Each structure stands twice: as structure tokens, then as C-alpha cells.
Amino acid sequence: MSKLKGVKPEKKEKRLKMFIYGPAGVGKTIAALQFPDAYIIDTEKGTDFYNDTITKSRSVVFQSNSIDEVKQEVKLLLTEKHHFKTLIIDPITVLYLSLQEKWNLIFEKHTISKEEAEIKDFGMRYWGKVKSEFKALQRLILALDMNVIITAHQKDVYGDNFKKIGTTFDSMRADDYLFDYVFNIISSGKQDGPRRAITIKERAEIGKAKFPKEFPWTYENFLKYYGKKIIEKEATPIAMATKEQIEKMSKLIEVVNLDQGIVVKWFQKAGVESWEEMNAEQIQKCIAYVEKKLKEIK
């Protein structure tokens, strides 16, 4: 008879990971830059006007809209020792559009003719590639022992007869589900007043929300509502699966002829899609399991 595996949940201190959006010109970039010791991935050169602010806050900028370059930077932030406490990607919208263009060019390259490339709808395989690569970046972001601020452009939502019924973020559908906190940034209505944040989403126990429904967007307010100890905590690097571990795992699977269903379960539990995305501890547990199976066979 199988044994139930449910356990009593333990309270965990989670890093602040939020998704913010707002209209053009509201000041999403300068709002995010209030967080000091930030590693800023600038996808549309929006930080060019804030050199003094960035320098004073001990932050740095990496400008790129290449998904491959951005993934590499996030992976280094995940695995190396550094003083940065917050990752800012500003905005994610440009990165997502750039990713679509990357795969559009790849698919066009393999069409029969130029005319076919111009009119062809690449369909589900195309979107599957786009979403898969974008989700790989998202998994790296969630694994970071850092605060995360992802900004996005805002777009209008239309209903019947093209009537505007509201606004939302301009990025991959369901991006908001990924994050514990989603804020809509709006103007204060005063020329020199702080921007305001409307809390669109917060994962919290009923009656124990950390953030008000609306509040002035200031770094001090985030320290007050979320906790200075968590926000200003030093990042701890994570050891990822090594090349040797991955090669050993591949050879063991071939020898033991491991059921692919077991591998799928391991990937699902770790929240990854490949051995390369596992950390060293996770893959070592898998190796130990297969080595034990091999001994039983012998």
C-alpha cells in the first residue's frame, strides 16, 4: 500500500519578486531604480538618463535585448558571489518581442521561398519554441536568491465593439501568474509627488496581506511592508549541475535503461526542463538513485 507523502508546511522567507506595469512616461524605470545594489538589465536604453542615480545606489547596467545574453547574465547572478541584492529587467516587453523575432527568423530560414516566409503562419511549433525559451529565463529568475523587479509596458484591453474596458501588461500571457506580487504604477497627480502603486495581486494568507491596496511607491515603504531584513539580505550563490554530473547522469540512464516517466517526475519536482537547469544538489540525488538501481541489477 502506498504511503501518503503530504507534510506540514513550513514558513519560508521568500525574496520579493514582483511584476510592475504602467503607462508610458509614468516613471516605471526610475521607480525600480529606487532599489539600491541593483543589477539592471536594460532592454531599451531607458537608463541612459539616470547615470548619477545608478552610481549613487551602487548599481550597474547591462544593456541588451538578446534573450541569450540576458539568460547568461542571470545565470551568472545565480551562481557567482556578488554584492547585488535586486535584479531589474526593464522592460520585459522588449525582450519578449525580440525573442519572437529571433524564432521568426529561424523559421523563415527554413521555408522554401521568400514569398512563403512572408505569408506563412508558423503556428503552434513556433509559439512552442518562443514560450519554452522564455519560460527557461523565468525559471532562472525565480531561482535567484535576489529581489526581482520586472517591468512591462501597459496596453489597453478592448471588449465588444472595440470598446476599451481596461488596461493590462504587454508581455507573454500569464506572466502575472509567475510572480507573488503585481503592481500597477500610476502618477501621484502631483508634479513632484511620488508615484503610486496599485496592488493588483498579492499571494498571502487571508487577512495577512503585506501591502495596502494603494500606496506611495518608495523604497522605504517596501522596507516597511515587506521587511528590511529580507530585502537587504546578501545573495547566496547556487551551485548548478556540472558538466561532469550531466555526463555521468546520461551514461547511467543508458546503462540502467531508466523509465522516462521517472525522469519527467524529477524534472517536474525540480521545476526544470533539462539536466542543465538543475542545481548540483538536485542532480546528485538523481545520480544516487540510478547508481543504487545499478547495484541492484548487478
Q: Are residues 76 and 202 in the same domain?
A: yes
Q: Which of 210, 231, 252 is the last residue of a domain?
A: 231
Q: Which of 181, 198, 231 is the last residue of a domain?
A: 231
Q: Is the pLDDT of residue 242 over 90?
A: yes
Instruction: Residue 31: give its domain's CATH number.
Output: 3.40.50.300
SS3 (DSSP) at 33: coil
Question: Is 200 a domain residue?
Answer: yes
pLDDT of residue 16: 95
pTM of the model: 0.84
As given in the structure block, the three cell numbers for residue 115 are: 514569398
Q: Is the pLDDT of residue 20 over 80?
A: yes
Q: Are residues 158 and 189 in the same domain?
A: yes
Q: Which of 174, 203, 231 is the last residue of a domain?
A: 231
Q: Are residues 205 and 274 in the same domain?
A: no
Identify the band that residue 113 occupies on the pLDDT scale cut at 50, 70 and 90: low
Q: Are residues 66 and 167 in the same domain?
A: yes
Identify the band that residue 119 occupies on the pLDDT scale cut at 50, 70 and 90: very low
Q: Are residues 161 and 293 in the same domain?
A: no
- Provide mean pLDDT across the span 20-26: 88
Beta carbons of 122 and 108 less than 8 angstroms apart: no
Beta carbons of 95 and 89 less than 8 angstroms apart: yes
DSSP for residue 224: I
Average pLDDT, the chain: 87
Q: Are residues 123 and 45 in the same domain?
A: yes
Question: Is 11 a domain residue?
Answer: no
Question: Is 10 a domain residue?
Answer: no
Q: Which domain holds residue 87?
A: 17-231
Q: Are residues 214 and 274 in the same domain?
A: no
The model's pLDDT over 60-102, given as tens digits with 9 standing for 90+, comes to 999 999 999 999 999 999 999 999 999 999 988 889 888 888 8
Q: Could you tell me where the DSSP H helices lie in the chain?
A: 28-32, 51-56, 67-79, 92-109, 114-119, 123-143, 175-178, 219-222, 228-231, 243-256, 260-270, 280-297
Q: How many domains does the chain have?
A: 2
Q: How many residues does the chain have?
A: 298
Question: Is 237 a domain residue?
Answer: no
Q: Is the pLDDT of residue 120 over 60?
A: no
Identify the band that residue 172 occupies on the pLDDT scale cut at 50, 70 and 90: low
Q: Are residues 57 and 22 in the same domain?
A: yes
Identify the band that residue 287 occupies on the pLDDT scale cut at 50, 70 and 90: very high
The model's pLDDT over 26-66, given as tens digits with 9 standing for 90+, comes to 889 999 999 999 999 999 999 999 999 999 999 999 999 99
Identify the band that residue 125 occupies on the pLDDT scale cut at 50, 70 and 90: confident
pLDDT of residue 253: 86
Question: Is 126 a domain residue?
Answer: yes
Question: Is 2 a domain residue?
Answer: no
